[in-house]
Amino acid sequence: MVRITRWRHEGVERGGFVHDGAVFALPGRDPVNDLLEAGLSATLRIADNTLGAAAGHHLADVDLLPPLQPRSIRDFVTFEEHVEGIVRRMSDQAVVVDEWYQAPTFYFTNPHTVRATDEQIGIPAGCQELDYEAEVGIVIGRMPGSSGTNLDYDDAQAHIFGLTVLNDWSARDLQLREMRVGLGPCKGKDFATTLGPWIVTADEFAPRFTDDGFLPLAMRVRVNGHEYGSDLLSNMGWPLSDLVRYASADSRVVPGDVLGTGTCGRGCLAELWGRKGDLTPPPLVPGDVVEVEVEGIGTIRNSIGPRREALTLVPARHRDRTRPRAQR
């Protein structure tokens, strides 16, 4: 198993490999993204040479950072069970809309607010309903000879460099207000996304893919040590390669992009709130500890910090119905 991450030791940030409870550094200013640019086959060769020659530091002696600095983050919504619960929470609809089944929908979130495991997550200003979302992140790497555009199924699969655990933190009350506008989410989502604790390379999972392309990994989420939900990654509506293929359609995926699978069934509080009709279990508060575990990858763990106290709404002026227009 090849695991890749970034860490800080004695004030210096490094990146490289994790093996037998130790980290082994690679040279370069951005070694993890350099590996993604090199591609999976080259990375496996580099790992063999590095782990056989370099001296490492014990994991307990370093502070883990997010395993990469993403070029972009697309977050999909691919678990039908999750969508059913969210629909009940967010609107008066009782069923998943037909459009959800037609293509794997995603939104772009903020690559500049990525957090690490064990990092404290503050509650954004104005939020009273902080939530987690248990997901897997697909990390894109280089495929020799590919532009990353309009990929077919096989090429899309070849662009999957590895997998990491992803927690898409959500300010549900802010999100609900924003999405009533018909666009979004924005501030309900862009304050934090946890990735980690490392990237596990795709070759590790190859024997476990089903014939139709799904990957049956167990996913669990715990709050303060109590399991709140569990699912299998294979309960997605689309296989992982379809997400890569769809993201590339009339667009482009590049090394360092991250594609979130979307929240697994029972993988967030809002889904439970939608099913129960009230805020049970309650929203996250300072001091809570959230753990997201994915079989074969690892566990990310974050504590909840204080709320930022500030006024965040910026009211618009109402348009003057008699305002002048540009003259020809």
Which positions ≥6 away from 36 have C-beta within 8 Å? Answer: 68, 139, 140, 141, 142, 161, 255, 256
Q: Provide the token pair at 298.
A: 């690892």
First-to-last C-alpha distance (Å) of the chain? 68
- Using a pLDDT cut of 70, give the percent of the chain over it: 99
Asked whether the beta carbons of 233 and 219 are under 8 A apart, the reply is yes
DSSP assignment letter at 59: G
- Over 70: is that where the pLDDT of 246 sits? yes
3-state secondary structure of 172: helix
Asked whether the beta carbons of 268 and 125 are under 8 A apart, the reply is no
Compute the average pLDDT of residues 208-232: 97
| pLDDT tens, position by position, 18-71 | 999 999 999 888 999 999 999 999 999 999 999 877 779 999 999 999 999 999
Side chain identity, residue 291: E
Give the pLDDT of residue 92: 67
Q: Are strands 226-232 and 121-123 parallel, antiparallel or unpaired?
A: unpaired
Closest by CA position to 207, among listed 7, 24, 1, 20 = 1
Rounded to two decimals, what is the model's pTM? 0.97
Confidence category of residue 90, pLDDT binned at 50, 70, 90: confident
